[in-house]
Amino acid sequence: MDGGLHRFNQTIREPFVQAILLLCALLLLGLLWGELPEDGRVGRAKWMKYHVLLIFIPFCSLLNKERLPWVIGALLTNYFSVLALGVYYWLVIGDQGVPPLRMSYLSFSAMLGIGIIVAVYLTGLGQSAKLRIVSCFVAILLILVQFHQNGRVFLLATLIAVIILILLRYKREIRKFIGAFVFVLIITAILASSSSVFQDRWFEVKNDIELLQQGDYRSSLGYRLAIWDVGLHGIAERPLLGHGTGAPESYFERTIVTYKNGIYQNLPEFQKTSHYHNDWIEIGMHIGIPGIFALFFLYWNWYQIFKKNQLGILGAGLLSYIFLAGLTDAFIIFSKIPILLLMITAIAIGWQKFNLNDHYQRTP
């Protein structure tokens, strides 16, 4: 409808697009030895959320110089509208996440983390003092809100990703790096000491460890350790093909009855089985080692598309965040969050391409 097959052919040559298609194709193929949803139980079909990645293809294909300002305006309007709702529920209602949008505190915290990384990246650009000041203010505002959400993993992933981003930005300017690093530490210390939500969540870690010492896995930490244990056992059983797309959740519930004398058998009562709280184990359970390599191929080419367009530092910040968050949660199937990341990716590379083209056209 807009450029026809020619435009689609150009888009499909991009290795990142090929990585998306490969992962989705393997998941579809895995249905041959997996499980289709039974009796309309769509909750068992969380694997379908991986196919949200396909949105990148039409979105990137349709993006051009004329549409770019409108797309950026739409993204910023929606992002800050969701942020305002989240702040309202935090300050006024005393609730987590954004309930009207069915957005859990985990998804909201993940969204905040992405905004912080982009804002910190913009503060390092030397083009405009106003942009640096606004970006710094936005980054501090977002991390203030994130400290008052219950997503410990995403907060930690955000802080580490920000430090990586700063290190890459100022790796040849030691004084600036030390100054920026100390500034981040001061902000973190102030927010950590003033956030009761943050302190309560870290206090829960101590309780989780005490329960583990008693052999009780009915806690956030204990549940993760248990499901990772079962997941790694499942991958070792069928490393080449996995257990089939859609099968990992039911595998967990079947296996824990007898696995290690049933020490995990009461966990479905503690938390409903939905995923393996780890991107690598989750995909490995679905489609085995080929799926793990496909996920690595996706992440690598996601970074490369940033690097190819002279945005390697931003790419490293975002991909380190995705990787770290995916170690303790199934990050890629947070349906709202990959869409945000894909939009940012397309907009960033589009902005860079259009600006470079304008520069070359003006250069005699």
Where a domain ends, among 196, 226, 252?
A: 196
The strand pairing partners of 295, in sequence order, are: none
Q: What is the pLDDT of residue 43?
A: 45
335 and 226, same structural domain?
yes
81 and 128, same structural domain?
yes
222 and 182, same structural domain?
no
> Quick check: is 333 in a domain?
yes
pLDDT at 40 over 70: no
pLDDT at 202 over 80: no
> Quick check: is 115 in a domain?
yes
Lowest mean pLDDT among 91-95, 202-206, 261-265: 202-206
3 and 93, same structural domain?
no
Q: What is the pLDDT of residue 354?
A: 78
87 and 55, same structural domain?
no
Give me the helix-helix angle, 279-308 and 15-29, nearest 10°.
160
> Quick check: is 317 in a domain?
yes
Q: What is the pLDDT of residue 131?
A: 83
> How many domains does the structure of the chain reveal?
2
> Quick check: is 275 in a domain?
yes
Q: What is the pLDDT of residue 115?
A: 95
88 and 26, same structural domain?
no
Q: What is the pLDDT of residue 226?
A: 92
Side chain identity, residue 362: R
54-87 residue pLDDT tens: 999 988 888 888 889 999 999 999 999 999 999 9
159-188 residue pLDDT tens: 999 999 999 988 888 888 888 889 889 988
220 and 178, same structural domain?
no
pLDDT at 31 over 80: yes
Q: Quote the domain boundaries for residue 176.
A: 75-196
322 and 191, same structural domain?
no
181 and 287, same structural domain?
no
| DSSP of 223-280 | HHHHHHHHHHHHHHHSTTTTT-TT-HHHHHHHHTTTGGGGTTTTHHHHS-----SSHH
pLDDT at 358 over 80: no
111-159 residue pLDDT tens: 999 999 999 999 887 667 788 889 989 999 999 999 988 888 899 999 9
pLDDT above 70 covers a percentage of the chain that reads 93
83 and 38, same structural domain?
no
Cα 284 from Cα 261, distance rounded (Å): 24
Q: Long-range contact list for 124-131, CB < 8 A, 24+ apart?
A: 124/165, 124/166, 124/169, 124/170, 124/313
Q: Number of H helices and number of E strands within the chain?
A: 15, 0
Q: What is the pLDDT of residue 39?
A: 47
What is the overall mean pLDDT for the chain? 88
191 and 143, same structural domain?
yes
